[in-house]
Amino acid sequence: MASHVRVSKKAALLALIAATGVSLAPIPAAADGRTAPQPALSTAGEQAVTAPGIPRLPGGLSALSWLVADAETGSVLAARSPHRKLAPASTLKTLFAVTVLPKFSAGAVRQVSSADLDGIGSGSSVVGIQQGRRYTVADLWRGVFLRSGNDAVHVLASMNGGWQTTAREMQQTARRLGAHDTTVKSPDGYDAPGQVSSAYDLTVFARAGLANDDFARYCATARATFPGAGGSTTIENTNRLLAGSHGMSRYPGIIGVKNGYTSKAGNTLIAAARRNGRTLLVTVLNPQSAVPNAVYKEAGALLDWGFGTAGSTQPVGTLHAVNAAYHGGPMRPVAAQATGAETRESSPWRPALVLGAGGAGLAVVALGALLARWRQPRPTGRRGDGG
């Protein structure tokens, strides 16, 4: 569990391995333990292997960019313009969480100052953080993941040393994960000049995040309580595939991750689901269809296609930088989440980062987790936009 006062033995071991210059095997691996060769992922056009017995891609996909990947092996099963640089909206909060979440314990308390809430962009989604009130870090992360609260992001960024410091750290994290399409200007995902990401990078961020129990638990929570003006109030996740709201049914096996919307980005979504022993990630950016809930419907169709391949399709590329390994059996946590309950056992993921091709920078991530043991929160003001 992420904390600024303790670090997992595994993170320490990874840092130690990196320090000695030992490189772990690239991923994904073949069944016999040898490295499986992966084709290069093209930057444009629709890519999927067509062969007898492999389902055809769903029709009606209008998104400017999308990607389907196996979360455990890192294999990219199909994609359209996966490296196209687009505004990410609040899906960029996945990178924010990967960067900041490990630094502070869930029970740490922050009394919110006016400086913490300075600079929230006009029209931002907020969870209702109030100046002068005390919130636990867990409260703030529920505000980020469920309500996409830019006010919660701003408070956490203040704890992390400020808005610009956080943006720089997010940029560094992206590069360490092998995500080279991303430029961070506003950590909450609010539209800002020059801020872009891609379906490929966002899938990498979500995959890395799911290797953290706390990230996986927050992003899988459909409903939770949050401190309100008159006491606790119930907040619902804005991810309609997870909450089963606004005309959408809860997707079978859904385990998160994050949705977003801005006028520049349009609708964006990273969705993860697990069925029949397989976990898939789908990222969909800016559908052009006028169909209601298009981003959710297209993501659901791509998940259906991926599960329908039953492992028969051949990959068209790989998320080479990080491997988030699943450990466990049936998706009991999904059943728990269907009730909207948030429990400590709600995460189906266990931390397991493996260095891969181009992933030597993950040694720095592991070392950073080790150093975070001694790092204290640094309350300070900062400026920035909301998202």
Q: What does the DSSP assignment read for 206-250?
A: HHHHHTSHHHHHHHT-SEEEEEETTEEEEEE-S-HHHHT-TT-PP
Instruction: Express each pLDDT in 89-105 by its tens digit.
Output: 999 999 999 999 999 99
The overall longest dimension of the chain from CA atoms, in Å, is: 63
Domains annotated for the chain, with CATH where assigned, are: 9-371 (3.40.710.10)
Torsion of CA 374, 379, 380, 383, to 10 degrees: 100
Instruction: From the candidates 90, 124, 198, 347, give the one annotated as an active-site residue.
Output: 90
- What's the half-sphere exposure (Cβ side, CA atoms, 13 Å) at 339? 8
**For residues 106 and 181, is the Cβ–Cβ distance under 8 A?**
no
pLDDT by residue for the chain (387 residues), tens only, comes to 333 333 344 444 333 333 323 222 222 333 333 334 445 676 677 888 888 888 999 999 999 999 999 999 999 999 999 999 999 999 999 999 999 999 999 999 999 999 999 999 999 999 999 999 999 999 999 999 999 999 999 999 999 999 999 999 999 999 999 999 999 999 999 999 999 999 999 999 999 999 999 999 999 999 999 998 888 999 999 999 999 999 999 999 999 999 999 999 999 999 999 999 999 999 999 999 999 999 999 999 999 999 999 878 889 999 975 544 333 333 233 223 333 444 333 444 433 333 333 333 334 344 444 444 444 433 333 333 334
Tokens read off for 72 = 């455990």
Pairwise CA distance, residues 296 & 300, whole Å? 6
Q: Is 93 a catalytic residue?
A: yes
- Residue 29 per-residue DSSP state: B
Q: Which of the following is catalytic: 93, 103, 185, 297?
A: 93
**Whole-prediction pTM:** 0.78
Q: 233 - beta bridge partners?
A: 226
> Which of the residues 3, 125, 148, 197 is marked catalytic?
148
DSSP state of 110: E
Give the pLDDT confidence of 261-300 residue by residue, as tens digits. Answer: 999 999 999 999 999 999 999 999 999 999 999 999 999 9
Burial category of 128 from C-beta neighbours within 10 Å (exposed 0-12, middle 13-18, buried 19 and up)? middle
42 is catalytic: no
> Is residue 197 among the annotated active site residues?
no
